[in-house]
Amino acid sequence: MAKKEVAMLFDASHCTGCKGCQVACKQWNMLPATLEKNGNPFTGSYQSPMDLNGNTRLVMTFDEQESGNKFQELNFAIGRRSCYHCTDAACVKACSSGALFHMKNGVVAFDTDKCNGCTYCQSACPFDVPRFRKTDGRIDKCTMCLDRLEEGQVPACVKTCQPEALRFGDREEMIRIGMQRVEFLKKKGFAKAELYGVTEMGGLHILTVCKHGHEAYGLPTNPKPNKMIDTMSAMRTVTGVGAAAVVAGLAATFVAARGYRRKDVTIEEAKQGWTQEQRDKADREVKELLAKEARNQ
Ligand code: SF4
Ligand code: SF4
Ligand code: SF4
């Protein structure tokens, strides 16, 4: 029997912004925090750090929205940023070494030992999630705490959430609970309330009850895999082209519109942050992949 799909439900209307989940994620996954003085300088926002990084798989996001209520002028839109475990995961398609893969329960897992640090996954992801970790030259992202799931436990972030803004279980059940909550919020006057993730990217395995609509939480409308996926697929089908020329073509034509609050970068620009060893390794693996696919055609 096929394994049932699981999902996490984040209900932004229940979240108090305590960041207990962020801390629990670091603790369980043994990811160090910045310790030096002013390592995360205060920027005027409750959000800290301001973005994901190689040692931070989860960031609670804080946005202030005008409420139109003179007695309480601002509403906080508190969101959650981590991997969304997409059904049509762009990162899996872009991964040059097979390090990222789908589990039957819907989780997008990765094998750290296989990662060559090429960061193609980061460029492909419409949510700009996987991050490069300089200390071991590999990427890191949320694993849905697979090690805990295998022991029958819920993810660490879910376990720690006091107001039950986070739930975990059967995906269909999470959708049902999320929709119910949206109906409740709409009746309370939050006209833009919606459940995000039911259909996006073929269906996400992190669903979000957005009290103020998904834009308020920085979630993209109708996210699409980056164009580099199409380019890569097209290049893979090219026959009779030397592998070196193909790699040069990839470098010249990849325009990784990373979006999600970041400027556009080309793959060549991205490569400037890599070590020579990483560049050589990534190019070698892409060449091998293309040569293998050409042989199979
Ligand atoms: S632990 Fe729960 S309430 Fe606290 S920030 Fe995380 S999701 Fe929100
Ligand atoms: S959110 Fe990005 S990293 Fe996570 S599964 Fe989707 S494409 Fe991959
Ligand atoms: S599921 Fe695990 S790895 Fe993912 S954000 Fe929660 S605690 Fe972190």
List, in order, residues 6 or more apart from 71 with CB less than 8 Å away.
Answer: none
Output the pLDDT for position 277.
Answer: 67
What are the distances in angstroms from CA 255 to CA 51, 127, 133, 180, 269? 22, 16, 23, 41, 10
220 Cα to the center of ligand 2, angstroms: 13
Output the pLDDT for position 258.
Answer: 34
Query: Atom 4, ligand 1: which residue's CA is nearest?
Result: 18
Q: What is the 3-state secondary structure (H, E, C) of the chain?
A: CCCCCEEEEEECCCCCCCCHHHHHHHHHCCCCCCCCCCCCCCCCCCCCCCCCECCECCEEEEEEEEEEECCEEEEEEEEEECCCCECCCHHHHHCCCCCEEECCCCCEEECHHHCCCCCHHHHHCCCCCCEEECCCCEEECCCCCHHHHHCCCCCHHHHHCCCCCEEEEEHHHHHHHHHHHHHHHHHCCCCCCEEECCCHHHCECEEEEECCCHHHHCCCCCCCCCCHHHHHHHHHHCCCCCHHHHHHHHHHHCEECCCCCCCCEEHHHHHCCCCHHHHHHHHHHHHHHHHHHHHHC
Output the pLDDT for position 262.
Answer: 39
Query: Atom 8, ligand 1: which residue's CA is nearest?
Result: 15
Query: Atom 6, ligand 2: which residue's CA is nearest?
Result: 86
106 Cα to the center of ligand 1, angstroms: 23
260 Cα to the center of ligand 3, angstroms: 21
Cα–Cα distance between 150 and 104 in angstroms, integer? Answer: 13
Cα–Cα distance between 112 and 100 in angstroms, integer? Answer: 9
259 Cα to the center of ligand 3, angstroms: 23
Q: Quick one: which of 140, 144, 118 has its CA closest to 131?
A: 140
Output the pLDDT for position 241.
Answer: 39
Output the pLDDT for position 229.
Answer: 63
> Which regions of the chain are under pLDDT 50?
234-266
Closest-approaching ligand to the CA atom of 83: 2
What structural domains does the chain harbor?
Answer: 6-32+47-85+145-217 (3.30.70.20), 90-141+226-296 (3.30.70.20)
pTM above 0.85, yes or no: no
The atom of ligand 2 lying closest to the CA of 225 is: 7
The atom of ligand 2 lying closest to the CA of 204 is: 6
Closest-approaching ligand to the CA atom of 88: 2
Query: Atom 5, ligand 2: which residue's CA is nearest?
Result: 85
φ, ψ (nearest 5 deg) of residue 49? -65, 170
Output the pLDDT for position 256.
Answer: 35
Cα–Cα distance between 246 and 263 in angstroms, integer? Answer: 26
Check pocket membership of 166 for ligand 1, CB cut-off 6 A: yes
The atom of ligand 1 lying closest to the CA of 164 is: 2
24 Cα to the center of ligand 3, angstroms: 8
Beta 6-11 vs 206-210: how paired, if at all?
A: parallel
Output the pLDDT for position 63.
Answer: 86
Ligand 3 pocket (Cβ < 6 Å) reads 24-25, 28-29, 57-58, 82, 142-145, 155-157
Output the pLDDT for position 75.
Answer: 75
